């Protein structure tokens, strides 16, 4: 058995773990990184990257069949589903070197391609190596949760971990789960020529603002995605090519089944009990500083920290940990400025509080300003006018923003910056943007906050009238 002593041992080579390892080693710390599966984690191999690549293929197919409104004849696309999957894997291959073993070893990280498990409060074993470290960072991420639906073990099914390896286009894809993953895959497969039925036990996009979710759902239904809500999957039966999901609202039969009902954190291989590390089904029990409440040598980053499960959150956690672990400075995570987006068409994005959350927290102090996309000249030119932005404002500062519409994932960035830096609405309103751009949606929303204060205020009119009479 080999032994290693190091400053930091990072367990998990996904977004959070790689960011900690790269930052720490380049600042002079000795770092050991353990990864028993694929470098880059879920995001690169099974999540963000492949899903957006497949969505790009679907977008291209959809555009070919919807050109008439631009003066370009509609053409029925010939979809090569296997070639679309080749595109997906080519995109992964182009990004993979950034997350590779070679790159991190080149930076000075000692990479051990084995799963790590705690054998004491101060030691982790990976293969035939024991690592003793001053600090450990657990960044093992999460994987798809497969609910124990009767019959599910007896039929073939897909999750986000293997759907991108499927090369035969499904004739009729059944999707259990109407959250972001399920809906993104539903629209992408519909645009690539599949029949699609989404079966959701509660409400589709149930965690999002219902008014904004309705904008997206209307478009998905118009494209032919069959969405069955409040239909809990009670049983699954059938065989390869002929799978039936039984629900209180009827039985739904398709050729393929995708399960997209949520995520579970990856802690089962870690032997956390031997490390004296408290945890539950949501992840490690940590404080606001991301430090284990029971083992002060251990920190968590990303999904296993028990909070929001997004790649960019894992990267943000890495910055918090580097400040704390390397420099000994107080550092705490916050979540009020974390944005997220669902990459359907139209997109759905959120940062901070939703309207319902803000009303509950701030009551009558809350103002909600709105701007409809159909008033934006660039969106009119692009014929992408279905959309809405809502900004929740308290005492002149945004506390949340929700956007449903074209490029919502890009537009939300301005509000994430404003909330992160506690900027006022005036900072957005004073920003000069090129015309015509989609980002004017944000400026116009800020203008909607000030308009009644300027144009409906009798005091302003009295002052203007006085100035005009006496101005030389």
How many angstroms separate the Cα of 435 from the Cα of each of 15, 70, 300, 372, 446?
Answer: 36, 21, 44, 17, 16
- Residue 180 located in a structural domain: yes
In a domain? residue 437 = yes
**One domain for residues 254 and 270:** no
Question: How many CB atoms neighbour CB 26 within 10 A?
Answer: 12
Strand partners of residue 394: 366, 397
Per-residue pLDDT of the chain (472 residues; tens, 9 = 90+): 899 999 999 999 999 999 999 999 999 999 999 999 999 999 999 999 999 999 999 999 999 999 999 999 999 999 999 999 999 999 999 999 999 999 999 999 999 999 999 999 999 999 999 999 999 999 999 999 999 999 999 999 999 999 999 999 999 999 999 999 999 999 999 999 999 999 999 999 999 999 999 999 999 999 999 999 999 999 999 999 999 999 999 999 999 999 999 999 999 999 999 999 999 999 999 999 999 999 999 999 999 999 999 999 999 999 999 999 999 999 999 999 999 999 999 999 999 999 999 999 999 999 999 999 999 999 999 999 999 999 999 999 999 999 999 999 999 999 999 999 999 999 999 999 999 999 999 999 999 998 777 666 777 667 777 777 777 7
Both 424 and 351 in one domain: the answer is yes
Structure tokens at 3: 């032994």
Q: Does residue 369 form part of some domain? A: yes
CATH number at residue 399: 3.30.390.30
Does residue 66 sit within a domain?
A: no
Q: What is the DSSP letter of 294?
A: S
Same domain? For 278 and 398 the reply is: no
**Residue 398: inside a domain, yes or no?**
yes
Q: 120 and 17 in one domain?
A: yes
How many structural domains are present in the chain?
3
Domain match, 166 and 221 both: yes
Q: What are the start-end ranges of the H helices in 2-157?
A: 15-26, 41-45, 48-64, 81-95, 101-107
- Shared-domain flag, residues 297 and 279: yes
Residue 247, domain extent: 152-262
Query: Are 129 and 268 within one domain?
Result: yes
d(CA 472, CA 468): 9
Number of helices (H) and strands (E), helices first, in the chain? 14, 23
117 shares its domain with 137? yes
Question: Do 129 and 161 lie in a common domain?
Answer: no
Shared domain for 19 and 123, answered yes or no, is: yes
Question: Which DSSP category does 170 fall into?
Answer: P
302 and 271 within one domain: yes
Determine the Cα–Cα distance for residues 44 and 51; give it in Å rounded to an integer.
10
Distance CA 32, CA 34 (A): 7
Q: Residue 164 to residues 50, 128, 156, 182, 227: CA-CA distances in angstroms?
A: 7, 33, 15, 14, 22
**Residue at 60 is within a domain:** no
In this structure, the strands spanning 172-176 and 256-259 are: parallel
Same domain, 189 and 212: yes
> Is 441 a domain residue?
yes
Q: Show the tokens assigned to 446.
A: 């800020």
In a domain, 303, yes or no: yes
**Final residue before a domain boundary, out of 211, 236, 262:** 262
Q: Kindly state the helix (H) or strand (E) to which residue 220 belongs, with its residue range.
A: helix 210-222
């Amino acid at each position: 058995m080999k032994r290693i002593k190091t400053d930091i041992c990072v367990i998990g080579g996904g977004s959070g773990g790689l960011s900690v390892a790269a930052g720490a080693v380049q600042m002079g710390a000795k770092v050991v990184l353990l990864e028993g599966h694929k470098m880059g984690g879920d995001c690169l191999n099974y999540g963000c990257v492949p899903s957006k690549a497949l969505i790009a293929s679907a977008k291209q197919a959809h555009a070919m069949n919807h050109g008439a409104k631009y003066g370009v004849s509609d053409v029925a696309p010939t979809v090569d589903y296997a070639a679309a999957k080749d595109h997906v894997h080519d995109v992964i291959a182009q990004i993979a070197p950034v997350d590779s073993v070679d790159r991190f070893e080149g930076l000075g990280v000692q990479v051990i391609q084995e799963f790590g498990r705690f054998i004491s409060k101060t030691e982790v074993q990976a293969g035939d190596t024991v690592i003793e470290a001053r600090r450990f960072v657990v960044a093992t991420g999460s994987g798809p949760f497969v609910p124990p639906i009767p019959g599910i073990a007896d039929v073939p099914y897909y999750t986000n971990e293997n759907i991108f390896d499927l090369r035969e286009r499904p004739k009729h894809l059944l999707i259990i789960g109407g959250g972001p993953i399920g809906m993104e895959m539903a629209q992408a497969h519909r645009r690539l020529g599949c029949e699609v039925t989404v079966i959701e036990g509660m409400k589709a996009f149930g965690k999002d603002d219902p008014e904004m979710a309705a904008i997206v759902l209307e478009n998905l239904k118009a494209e032919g995605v069959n969405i069955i809500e409040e239909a809990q999957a009670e049983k699954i039966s059938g065989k390869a090519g002929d799978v039936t999901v039984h629900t209180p609202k009827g039985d739904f039969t398709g050729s393929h089944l995708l399960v997209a009902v949520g995520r579970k954190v990856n802690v089962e291989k870690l032997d956390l009990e031997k490390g004296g590390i408290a945890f539950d089904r949501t992840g490690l029990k940590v404080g606001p500083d991301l430090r284990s409440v029971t083992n002060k040598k251990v920190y968590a980053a990303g999904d296993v920290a028990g909070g929001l499960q997004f790649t960019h959150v894992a990267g943000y956690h890495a910055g918090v940990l580097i400040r704390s672990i390397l420099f000994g400075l107080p550092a705490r995570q916050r979540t009020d400025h974390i944005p997220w987006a669902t990459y359907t068409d139209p997109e759905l994005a959120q940062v901070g509080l939703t309207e319902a959350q803000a009303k509950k927290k701030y009551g009558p102090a809350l103002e909600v300003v709105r701007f409809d996309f159909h008033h934006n000249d660039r969106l009119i030119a692009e014929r992408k006018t279905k959309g809405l932005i809502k900004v929740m404002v308290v005492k002149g500062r945004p506390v949340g923003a929700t956007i449903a519409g074209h490029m919502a994932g890009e537009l939300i960035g301005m509000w994430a910056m404003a909330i992160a830096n506690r900027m006022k609405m005036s900072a957005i309103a004073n920003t000069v943007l090129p015309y015509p751009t989609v980002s004017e949606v944000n400026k116009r929303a800020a203008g909607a906050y000030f308009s009644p204060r300027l144009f409906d205020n009798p005091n302003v009119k009295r002052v203007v009238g006085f100035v005009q009479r006496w101005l030389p």
